[in-house]
Protein backbone atom coordinates (compact mmCIF):
# COMPACT_ATOMS: atom_id res chain seq x y z
CA UNK A 1 0.00 0.00 0.00
CA UNK A 2 1.25 3.49 -0.84
CA UNK A 3 2.74 5.50 2.02
CA UNK A 4 1.70 9.14 2.42
CA UNK A 5 3.56 11.77 4.42
CA UNK A 6 2.58 15.03 6.14
CA UNK A 7 3.65 17.12 9.13
CA UNK A 8 1.35 19.32 11.20
CA UNK A 9 4.12 21.95 11.15
CA UNK A 10 3.11 22.56 7.53
CA UNK A 11 -0.07 24.21 8.79
CA UNK A 12 1.77 26.98 10.63
CA UNK A 13 2.43 29.27 7.65
CA UNK A 14 -0.29 31.62 6.35
CA UNK A 15 0.74 34.41 3.99
CA UNK A 16 -2.68 36.14 4.27
CA UNK A 17 -2.70 38.57 1.32
CA UNK A 18 -0.95 39.31 -1.97
CA UNK A 19 -1.25 41.86 -4.78
CA UNK A 20 -3.18 40.93 -7.94
CA UNK A 21 -3.49 43.57 -10.68
CA UNK A 22 -2.76 46.23 -8.07
CA UNK A 23 -5.37 44.99 -5.58
CA UNK A 24 -4.78 43.30 -2.25
CA UNK A 25 -6.49 39.91 -2.21
CA UNK A 26 -6.49 36.88 0.12
CA UNK A 27 -3.81 34.32 -0.64
CA UNK A 28 -5.55 31.07 -1.66
CA UNK A 29 -2.61 28.95 -0.45
CA UNK A 30 -4.14 28.43 3.00
CA UNK A 31 -3.70 25.71 5.66
CA UNK A 32 -7.22 24.48 4.88
CA UNK A 33 -5.85 23.09 1.58
CA UNK A 34 -3.80 20.52 3.43
CA UNK A 35 -6.69 19.61 5.70
CA UNK A 36 -8.95 19.00 2.70
CA UNK A 37 -6.32 16.94 0.91
CA UNK A 38 -5.62 14.89 4.02
CA UNK A 39 -9.32 13.98 4.04
CA UNK A 40 -8.91 12.52 0.55
CA UNK A 41 -5.89 10.55 1.76
CA UNK A 42 -7.96 9.09 4.60
CA UNK A 43 -10.75 8.21 2.17
CA UNK A 44 -8.17 6.27 0.15
CA UNK A 45 -7.44 4.20 3.25
CA UNK A 46 -3.93 5.59 3.63
CA UNK A 47 -2.31 6.73 6.84
CA UNK A 48 -0.39 10.00 6.90
CA UNK A 49 3.08 9.33 8.28
CA UNK A 50 5.06 12.08 9.98
CA UNK A 51 8.28 12.71 8.04
CA UNK A 52 11.71 12.06 9.49
CA UNK A 53 14.07 15.02 9.81
CA UNK A 54 16.82 14.53 7.23
CA UNK A 55 18.42 17.87 8.12
CA UNK A 56 19.58 20.60 5.79
CA UNK A 57 21.82 18.61 3.44
CA UNK A 58 19.10 17.63 0.91
CA UNK A 59 17.76 21.20 0.89
CA UNK A 60 21.23 22.74 0.54
CA UNK A 61 21.88 20.49 -2.43
CA UNK A 62 19.25 22.52 -4.31
CA UNK A 63 19.12 25.97 -2.72
CA UNK A 64 21.80 28.65 -2.30
CA UNK A 65 23.13 29.11 1.23
CA UNK A 66 22.43 32.86 1.31
CA UNK A 67 18.83 32.21 0.32
CA UNK A 68 18.36 29.62 3.06
CA UNK A 69 19.89 31.97 5.61
CA UNK A 70 17.53 34.72 4.41
CA UNK A 71 14.44 32.55 4.89
CA UNK A 72 15.51 31.68 8.43
CA UNK A 73 16.67 35.11 9.58
CA UNK A 74 14.79 37.83 7.69
CA UNK A 75 11.63 37.95 9.82
CA UNK A 76 13.24 38.93 13.16
CA UNK A 77 15.55 41.34 11.35
CA UNK A 78 12.58 42.92 9.54
CA UNK A 79 10.63 43.26 12.79
CA UNK A 80 13.58 44.73 14.68
CA UNK A 81 13.83 47.43 12.00
CA UNK A 82 10.17 48.38 12.48
CA UNK A 83 8.89 46.56 9.40
CA UNK A 84 5.34 45.40 8.66
CA UNK A 85 3.67 42.28 10.02
CA UNK A 86 4.88 40.27 7.01
CA UNK A 87 8.08 40.52 4.99
CA UNK A 88 6.89 41.70 1.56
CA UNK A 89 9.21 43.17 -1.08
CA UNK A 90 8.67 46.69 -2.37
CA UNK A 91 11.63 46.75 -4.77
CA UNK A 92 13.23 44.24 -7.13
CA UNK A 93 16.59 44.40 -8.90
CA UNK A 94 16.83 44.67 -12.69
CA UNK A 95 19.00 41.56 -12.44
CA UNK A 96 20.74 39.63 -9.68
CA UNK A 97 24.29 39.81 -10.97
CA UNK A 98 25.42 42.77 -8.89
CA UNK A 99 26.61 42.93 -5.27
CA UNK A 100 24.51 41.04 -2.75
CA UNK A 101 22.43 43.59 -0.79
CA UNK A 102 23.30 44.23 2.87
CA UNK A 103 20.03 45.97 3.74
CA UNK A 104 17.07 43.81 4.73
CA UNK A 105 14.73 45.58 2.28
CA UNK A 106 17.18 44.93 -0.54
CA UNK A 107 17.49 41.27 0.41
CA UNK A 108 13.71 40.91 0.51
CA UNK A 109 13.53 42.21 -3.05
CA UNK A 110 16.45 40.02 -4.09
CA UNK A 111 14.98 36.76 -2.78
CA UNK A 112 11.18 37.25 -2.98
CA UNK A 113 10.19 37.19 -6.63
CA UNK A 114 6.67 38.56 -6.17
CA UNK A 115 4.19 39.52 -3.45
CA UNK A 116 2.67 36.03 -3.20
CA UNK A 117 5.43 34.71 -0.93
CA UNK A 118 5.45 36.88 2.20
CA UNK A 119 7.57 35.68 5.11
CA UNK A 120 6.12 35.46 8.61
CA UNK A 121 7.45 34.16 11.90
CA UNK A 122 6.35 30.62 10.95
CA UNK A 123 7.13 30.51 7.21
CA UNK A 124 10.50 28.78 7.56
CA UNK A 125 9.09 26.12 9.91
CA UNK A 126 6.34 25.19 7.45
CA UNK A 127 8.56 25.32 4.36
CA UNK A 128 11.19 23.18 6.09
CA UNK A 129 8.55 20.65 7.19
CA UNK A 130 7.15 20.57 3.66
CA UNK A 131 10.60 19.78 2.27
CA UNK A 132 11.09 17.04 4.87
CA UNK A 133 7.76 15.55 3.81
CA UNK A 134 9.02 15.31 0.22
CA UNK A 135 12.35 13.89 1.40
CA UNK A 136 10.72 11.17 3.52
CA UNK A 137 8.46 10.10 0.64
CA UNK A 138 11.51 10.00 -1.62
CA UNK A 139 13.55 7.94 0.82
CA UNK A 140 10.66 5.50 1.17
CA UNK A 141 10.93 4.88 -2.57
CA UNK A 142 14.70 5.19 -2.96
CA UNK A 143 15.79 3.26 0.12
CA UNK A 144 12.65 1.36 1.13
CA UNK A 145 12.01 -0.32 -2.19
CA UNK A 146 8.48 1.03 -2.61
CA UNK A 147 7.16 1.62 -6.12
CA UNK A 148 5.55 4.94 -5.13
CA UNK A 149 4.84 7.37 -2.28
CA UNK A 150 2.82 10.56 -1.84
CA UNK A 151 4.09 13.72 -0.16
CA UNK A 152 1.34 16.11 0.93
CA UNK A 153 3.56 19.17 0.60
CA UNK A 154 2.26 22.50 1.77
CA UNK A 155 3.46 25.16 1.08
CA UNK A 156 4.16 24.01 -2.48
CA UNK A 157 7.51 24.41 -4.17
CA UNK A 158 7.77 24.35 -7.96
CA UNK A 159 8.02 28.15 -8.43
CA UNK A 160 11.02 28.41 -6.09
CA UNK A 161 14.41 28.57 -7.79
CA UNK A 162 17.83 28.21 -6.18
CA UNK A 163 17.70 31.76 -4.80
CA UNK A 164 14.17 33.10 -5.28
CA UNK A 165 10.77 32.40 -3.75
CA UNK A 166 7.62 32.98 -5.81
CA UNK A 167 4.09 31.83 -6.43
CA UNK A 168 3.45 30.71 -2.81
CA UNK A 169 6.64 28.58 -2.99
CA UNK A 170 9.76 28.81 -0.79
CA UNK A 171 11.63 25.49 -1.08
CA UNK A 172 11.40 23.46 -4.27
CA UNK A 173 10.16 20.14 -2.92
CA UNK A 174 10.01 18.42 -6.31
CA UNK A 175 13.58 19.44 -7.14
CA UNK A 176 14.79 18.29 -3.73
CA UNK A 177 13.07 14.93 -4.29
CA UNK A 178 14.66 14.55 -7.73
CA UNK A 179 18.12 15.32 -6.42
CA UNK A 180 17.69 12.78 -3.63
CA UNK A 181 16.66 10.16 -6.19
CA UNK A 182 19.84 10.91 -8.16
CA UNK A 183 21.85 9.37 -5.33
CA UNK A 184 20.60 5.99 -6.61
CA UNK A 185 19.21 6.51 -10.10
CA UNK A 186 21.17 7.79 -13.12
CA UNK A 187 18.24 9.43 -14.90
CA UNK A 188 15.33 11.14 -13.16
CA UNK A 189 12.37 12.90 -14.77
CA UNK A 190 10.20 15.57 -13.14
CA UNK A 191 6.70 15.63 -14.66
CA UNK A 192 4.81 18.77 -13.63
CA UNK A 193 1.03 18.69 -14.20
CA UNK A 194 0.22 21.85 -12.24
CA UNK A 195 -1.89 24.58 -13.84
CA UNK A 196 1.12 26.90 -13.65
CA UNK A 197 4.50 26.33 -15.24
CA UNK A 198 7.14 25.03 -12.82
CA UNK A 199 9.57 27.85 -13.56
CA UNK A 200 11.66 27.28 -10.43
CA UNK A 201 12.17 23.62 -11.28
CA UNK A 202 13.11 24.51 -14.85
CA UNK A 203 15.63 27.07 -13.60
CA UNK A 204 17.31 24.59 -11.27
CA UNK A 205 17.86 21.85 -13.85
CA UNK A 206 18.02 23.88 -17.07
CA UNK A 207 21.65 23.05 -17.82
CA UNK A 208 21.59 19.39 -16.72
CA UNK A 209 21.07 16.23 -18.74
CA UNK A 210 20.59 13.82 -15.81
CA UNK A 211 17.26 15.32 -14.75
CA UNK A 212 14.64 15.87 -17.45
CA UNK A 213 11.99 18.48 -16.66
CA UNK A 214 8.58 18.36 -18.33
CA UNK A 215 5.65 20.69 -17.65
CA UNK A 216 2.06 20.78 -18.93
CA UNK A 217 0.43 24.09 -18.00
CA UNK A 218 -1.73 27.03 -19.05
CA UNK A 219 -0.08 29.13 -21.76
CA UNK A 220 2.22 31.65 -20.02
CA UNK A 221 1.49 34.22 -22.73
CA UNK A 222 -1.78 34.64 -20.84
CA UNK A 223 -1.10 33.21 -17.38
CA UNK A 224 1.31 33.19 -14.43
CA UNK A 225 4.34 33.00 -14.41
CA UNK A 226 4.18 34.82 -17.82
CA UNK A 227 7.93 35.00 -18.47
CA UNK A 228 8.73 31.27 -18.51
CA UNK A 229 7.15 28.06 -19.73
CA UNK A 230 7.16 28.58 -23.48
CA UNK A 231 7.74 25.73 -25.89
CA UNK A 232 11.03 27.09 -27.19
CA UNK A 233 12.67 26.82 -23.74
CA UNK A 234 14.51 23.52 -24.20
CA UNK A 235 17.54 23.88 -21.91
CA UNK A 236 21.06 25.19 -22.23
CA UNK A 237 24.57 23.73 -22.15
CA UNK A 238 24.44 20.04 -21.27
CA UNK A 239 20.70 20.42 -20.69
CA UNK A 240 19.74 21.31 -24.27
CA UNK A 241 16.87 19.03 -25.24
CA UNK A 242 16.14 17.95 -21.67
CA UNK A 243 13.53 20.61 -20.78
CA UNK A 244 10.07 20.26 -22.31
CA UNK A 245 7.16 22.67 -21.96
CA UNK A 246 3.68 22.02 -23.31
CA UNK A 247 1.59 25.18 -22.85
CA UNK A 248 -2.16 24.71 -23.29
CA UNK A 249 -4.73 27.29 -24.38
CA UNK A 250 -6.78 28.72 -21.52
CA UNK A 251 -9.92 26.71 -20.90
CA UNK A 252 -8.48 23.43 -22.16
CA UNK A 253 -10.15 20.38 -20.66
CA UNK A 254 -9.65 16.64 -20.30
CA UNK A 255 -9.03 15.74 -23.94
CA UNK A 256 -6.42 18.40 -24.64
CA UNK A 257 -4.63 17.74 -21.34
CA UNK A 258 -4.56 13.97 -21.86
CA UNK A 259 -3.23 14.34 -25.42
CA UNK A 260 -0.42 16.55 -24.06
CA UNK A 261 0.25 13.98 -21.33
CA UNK A 262 0.62 11.20 -23.90
CA UNK A 263 3.30 13.22 -25.70
CA UNK A 264 5.03 13.97 -22.42
CA UNK A 265 5.06 10.35 -21.24
CA UNK A 266 6.59 9.33 -24.57
CA UNK A 267 9.46 11.75 -23.94
CA UNK A 268 10.01 10.22 -20.49
CA UNK A 269 10.16 6.76 -22.06
CA UNK A 270 12.61 7.98 -24.71
CA UNK A 271 14.75 9.53 -21.97
CA UNK A 272 14.93 6.16 -20.22
CA UNK A 273 14.04 7.56 -16.80
CA UNK A 274 15.02 5.32 -13.89
CA UNK A 275 12.72 7.22 -11.49
CA UNK A 276 10.06 9.95 -11.76
CA UNK A 277 8.88 12.81 -9.58
CA UNK A 278 5.34 13.99 -10.32
CA UNK A 279 4.80 17.63 -9.36
CA UNK A 280 1.12 17.03 -8.65
CA UNK A 281 -0.83 20.22 -9.12
CA UNK A 282 -4.61 19.88 -8.94
CA UNK A 283 -5.33 23.47 -9.95
CA UNK A 284 -5.95 22.52 -13.60
CA UNK A 285 -9.40 21.62 -12.24
CA UNK A 286 -12.47 23.20 -13.81
CA UNK A 287 -13.50 24.20 -10.28
CA UNK A 288 -10.22 25.73 -9.13
CA UNK A 289 -10.45 29.43 -8.22
CA UNK A 290 -7.62 30.27 -10.63
CA UNK A 291 -9.79 29.09 -13.51
CA UNK A 292 -7.10 28.52 -16.13
CA UNK A 293 -7.96 25.01 -17.32
CA UNK A 294 -11.05 22.80 -17.05
CA UNK A 295 -9.98 19.27 -16.12
CA UNK A 296 -12.76 17.22 -14.49
CA UNK A 297 -12.44 14.75 -11.59
CA UNK A 298 -12.74 11.94 -14.14
CA UNK A 299 -9.94 13.64 -16.07
CA UNK A 300 -7.70 13.51 -13.01
CA UNK A 301 -8.43 9.78 -12.70
CA UNK A 302 -7.30 9.30 -16.31
CA UNK A 303 -4.20 11.45 -15.71
CA UNK A 304 -3.35 9.23 -12.76
CA UNK A 305 -3.95 6.07 -14.79
CA UNK A 306 -1.65 7.23 -17.59
CA UNK A 307 1.15 8.30 -15.23
CA UNK A 308 0.80 4.97 -13.45
CA UNK A 309 1.91 3.21 -16.63
CA UNK A 310 5.47 4.50 -16.11
CA UNK A 311 7.45 1.41 -15.10
CA UNK A 312 9.82 3.07 -12.67
CA UNK A 313 9.69 4.23 -9.03
CA UNK A 314 7.53 7.35 -8.69
CA UNK A 315 7.28 10.04 -6.01
CA UNK A 316 4.12 12.16 -5.99
CA UNK A 317 4.81 15.65 -4.61
CA UNK A 318 1.80 17.89 -3.99
CA UNK A 319 2.00 21.30 -5.65
CA UNK A 320 -1.02 23.55 -6.32
CA UNK A 321 -4.74 22.93 -6.10
CA UNK A 322 -6.81 25.40 -4.12
CA UNK A 323 -9.99 25.28 -2.08
CA UNK A 324 -12.97 24.20 -4.18
CA UNK A 325 -15.86 21.76 -3.96
CA UNK A 326 -13.87 19.12 -5.86
CA UNK A 327 -10.34 19.57 -4.47
CA UNK A 328 -10.50 16.42 -2.33
CA UNK A 329 -12.26 14.48 -5.09
CA UNK A 330 -9.59 15.41 -7.62
CA UNK A 331 -6.82 14.03 -5.41
CA UNK A 332 -8.88 10.92 -4.64
CA UNK A 333 -9.47 10.25 -8.31
CA UNK A 334 -5.86 10.88 -9.31
CA UNK A 335 -4.33 8.58 -6.70
CA UNK A 336 -7.02 5.91 -7.28
CA UNK A 337 -6.25 5.85 -10.99
CA UNK A 338 -2.51 6.03 -10.47
CA UNK A 339 -2.37 3.26 -7.86
CA UNK A 340 -4.57 0.86 -9.80
CA UNK A 341 -2.40 1.14 -12.89
CA UNK A 342 0.89 1.27 -11.01
CA UNK A 343 0.16 -1.87 -9.02
CA UNK A 344 -1.04 -3.73 -12.11
CA UNK A 345 2.13 -2.81 -14.00
CA UNK A 346 4.31 -3.95 -11.11
CA UNK A 347 2.61 -7.34 -11.16
CA UNK A 348 3.20 -7.54 -14.91
CA UNK A 349 6.89 -6.78 -14.43
CA UNK A 350 7.35 -9.35 -11.65
CA UNK A 351 5.65 -12.06 -13.72
CA UNK A 352 7.72 -11.40 -16.85
CA UNK A 353 10.10 -13.89 -18.50
CA UNK A 354 12.40 -15.65 -16.06
Are residues 199 and 161 in contact, defined by beta-carbon separation less than 8 angstroms? yes
Are residues 125 and 13 in contact, defined by beta-carbon separation less than 8 angstroms? yes
Q: Give the C-alpha distances (Å, rounded to integers) separating 253 from 230, 304, 305, 344.
A: 19, 15, 17, 27
From CA 116, how far away is CA 118, in angstroms rounded?
A: 6
From CA 207, how far away is CA 213, in angstroms rounded?
A: 11
From CA 177, how far away is CA 18, in angstroms rounded?
A: 28
Beta bridge partners of 285: 295
From CA 182, how far away is CA 31, in angstroms rounded?
A: 31
From CA 223, how far away is CA 239, in angstroms rounded?
A: 25
Computed from CA positions of residues 75, 76, 79, 81, in that sequence, does the dihedral angle turn out positive or negative? negative
Are residues 137 and 89 in contact, defined by beta-carbon separation less than 8 angstroms? no
Catalytic residues: 159
Closest CA to 316 of 178, 204, 224: 178
Q: How is residue 297 annotated by DSSP?
A: H
From CA 39, how far away is CA 33, in angstroms rounded?
A: 10
Amino acid sequence: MMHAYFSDDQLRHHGKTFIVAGEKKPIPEVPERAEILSGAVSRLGLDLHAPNDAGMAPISAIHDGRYLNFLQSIYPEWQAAGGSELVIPNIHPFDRNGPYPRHHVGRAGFHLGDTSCPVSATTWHSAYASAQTAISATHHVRDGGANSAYALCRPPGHHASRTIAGGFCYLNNSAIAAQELRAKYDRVAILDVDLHHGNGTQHIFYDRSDVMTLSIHADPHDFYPFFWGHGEETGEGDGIGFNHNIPLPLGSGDGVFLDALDRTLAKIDDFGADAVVVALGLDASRDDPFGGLTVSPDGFAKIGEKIGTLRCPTVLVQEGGYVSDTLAENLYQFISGFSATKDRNDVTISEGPK
